[in-house]
Each structure stands twice: as C-alpha cells, then as structure tokens.
Amino acid sequence: MPELDAEKLKENALTSIRLGIEDFQRSKLEKDQGGDPARALSAVRNLFAGILLLFKYKIAVSVDATGDASVLIFNPPEVLPQADGKGGIEWKPVGKFKRTTIDVATIKKRFEGFGIDVDWPTIDKLQECRNHLEHLHPANTLGEVADFVAELFPVLREFILTQLNEQPADLLDTAWPVMLAHHEFFRDTIAECQASWAAAGVPEMMQPWLESCQCEECGSSLLRPSQQDIEEGASVDNQDNTFKYVCVACGHSDLIAPLMIKELNDAYYDDPRDGGEADVEECNECKRSTFLISEQHCLWCGAELDYPTCTFCEEPLRQEDQFNGGLCGYHLHAYEKAMRDD
C-alpha cells in the first residue's frame, strides 16, 4: 500500500489555496497592471484542489495509525465475485490499493462515517464552476469566480475552526486577508444590490428568481437596476422589455426580465427524456412564460384559473381547458355528445 504523509497533504493543500487566491487576484487586474483573465481557470482549479486536499488531511488525522489513514485515503482494489467452490460466490478484493486518492463522492462518504459536517452545496458549486470553466473562456466567467471565492470564505473558516481546531489567519497566511476583504466587499455589495431593486417594481412572486440571476457577460450575481430607468420612473413589472440591470463586477448592462424568466423556467424544467414535462408555460393573460402549472397561477401578473378543477370529476384543469365551461376534455366531449344525441 502507498505510504501516506498527512503533513504533506496539509502543506500541499495550503499551497494550492494560496496559489488559487493569487491567481484570483491576477485575474481581476487590468492587463496594463499585469492582470490576466485566464488566471480565473487556474484560480478555481487550485482552490478546488486545495480544499479537497484539506478534507483528505482531516480524514487522515482522524485515525491514529498511519496504515488506517492510508486505507481511508487511497483508492481500494476492486471487489469482484468469485466462486467459493461450494456452488456459491464470495466477494474478494482483486489487486492492491491504488496510488490514486479518493474523489469527491468518496470524501463525502468518509465524512459521513466520521460525522464531519461541511457545506457540500457550496463545494459542489465550486466543482461545477471548475468544470464550466474548462469548456468556456475564463474571461466570460470572472464574476462567477468572484462569487465562489466569497462563498468559500465562510466554508473554509468554519472547517478550519471546528474540524482542524486552528485559526484561519494562522493557517492560510497571506490568502486569509484577501479572502476576508473580498468576502466583506461581496457581502456588503450584494446587500446594496438587493436593496436597490425595491424601487424597481419587480413582481413580488418573481423576487426569488431575481435573486438567482447572474450577469450574462461575467457570471456575477452583483446586479443593480439601471439608475437611468429608476430615475425615469420605469418599472420592471410594466416595462420588462426595456428595463435593464447593470453588473457591478464588469459593467455589462442588459434586460433583467429575460434573466428572471430563464431562472424560473430552468428551476421547473423536467427533462422530457426522463418522462417529465415542463411545469411552466406562457400565461394567457400577460403572455410571459411565467405561469406555474402545478400551482395554477402566474408568478408575474398573478392571473389564476377561473375553473381550477372539472365540475364533474374534479380533475385539475389547465389554461387550455378554461374555455370548456369548467369541464375537462373527457366530460366536455361527453356533454357535447349527449347534446348531439338529444
């Protein structure tokens, strides 16, 4: 079995995190200041690798024996069925422990086994961000990277304090003040952005989808309403075809309504290949793709169905059934047939 040096894991983890933060800083600078947008990719790669190494270090030091730590960290041999010589089977490992270490899914299982709590949704988002950046030009997602660095700050702080029993400032060294300053900036700015939309006339039931919008240019969630639109008394509710957002991170500006509607539709999308169908459709009243079928009302204009269920069988009705006088398709057909027979 490969030998495991837990302290080396820790050292490599801290180096990766430090390099990730340095790359992040470089990605934000202007080119004439030595900046390089492509560093966003290496920033996410290093941060993700560093966090996983820190997690593996925690697993390794959760047991006393070095041999036990190696068993937990290195990938085990494959377990395959073999004949037991008595007409049955038995499962036996084939080969030896590999030199590769466990992946994210196995780290989660190890943490569950040892009762170690981590904000996995944030880690999963970082992994998605890394995979996303592998296929797109980093310059188009700098804002998204900045969001994740801000979200990682409390995760790392909590993990270092509660699981490693160390002080983040001591452990992370130069990376700590950068993350702290960025997190505080992000927290304050996003609060200001959210407050600024209060005067923009966003439909109340669309508020959750506004909060999940990201800039189409850089991926940042730091979006403010256009000051010009606010000053002119425009409203998202009534002028969604002209009302714009402005990205604090990159300055890009575009319509906010399509972003909100896309977020809504993505959240309720059910892949038809899995036998499902979308739960959002165009509203008959306002003509926006914001009518939630399962709840039978529009999240934009608030329109509801006049006939929510069939008068005879109480089957839920949809928008296209509203012209049937409160009947489902089957009972409408039966009624029309009876009328013809008379």
Residues 6+ apart with CB under 8 A from 92: 79, 80, 82
Residue in this structure with the two tokens 């309403």, named with its chain if needed: 225
Measured CA to CA, the distance from residue 213 to residue 190 in angstroms comes to 12
What are 92's strand-pairing partners? 80
Q: Is the pLDDT of residue 71 over 90?
A: no
Per mean pLDDT, which of 28-42, 96-110, 232-246, 321-335 is the most reliable? 232-246
Rounded-to-10 torsion of CA 300, 141, 128, 268: 10
Measured CA to CA, the distance from residue 83 to residue 3 in angstroms comes to 32
- Going by pLDDT thresholds of 50, 70 and 90, the confidence category of residue 280 is very high
Q: Is the pLDDT of residue 138 over 70?
A: no
Q: Where are the domains of the chain?
A: 6-190, 200-264, 305-342
First-to-last C-alpha distance (Å) of the chain: 87
Closest CA to 243 of 252, 285, 251, 230: 230
Report the alpha-carbon angle 257-260-262, nearest 5.
105
Rg (the chain; Cα; Å): 27
For 294-307, how does the pLDDT look when each residue is reduced to its tens digit (9 = 90+)? 899 999 999 999 99
pLDDT at site 94: 65
The predicted model gives 205-213 an average pLDDT of: 94
- Going by pLDDT thresholds of 50, 70 and 90, the confidence category of residue 273 is low
- Can you point out the beta strands (E) in the chain? 78-83, 89-94, 223-225, 244-247, 253-255, 280-281, 291-292, 297-298
Task: Tell me 320's DSSP state.
Answer: G
pLDDT at site 133: 73
> How far is Cα of residue 339 from the mean position of the Cα atoms in its chain?
55
Measured CA to CA, the distance from residue 20 to residue 138 in angstroms comes to 14
- Going by pLDDT thresholds of 50, 70 and 90, the confidence category of residue 83 is confident
Q: Helix crossing, 175-196 with 6-28: angle to 10°? A: 50
Task: Tell me 74's DSSP state.
Answer: B
Least confident of 225-239, 282-296, 318-332: 318-332
pLDDT at site 160: 95
- Mean pLDDT, the chain, as a whole number? 87
Residue in this structure with the two tokens 């900036």, named with its chain if needed: 185
| Prediction pTM value | 0.73
Phi and psi angles of residue 87, each rounded to the nearest 5 degrees, phi first: 90, 0
Report yes or no: 222 and 143 within 8 Å, Cβ to Cβ. Answer: yes
Report yes or no: 219 and 259 within 8 Å, Cβ to Cβ. Answer: no
Rounded-to-10 torsion of CA 232, 237, 242, 246: 80
Q: Is the pLDDT of residue 29 over 60?
A: yes
Closest CA to 298 of 203, 213, 211, 210: 203
> Which amino acid is it at 127?
Q
Q: Which two tokens stand for residue 189?
A: 């700015």
Kindly list the distances between the CA atom of residue 316 and the CA atoms of 268, 269, 276, 291, 292, in Å, as whole numbers in the listed order: 19, 20, 17, 15, 13
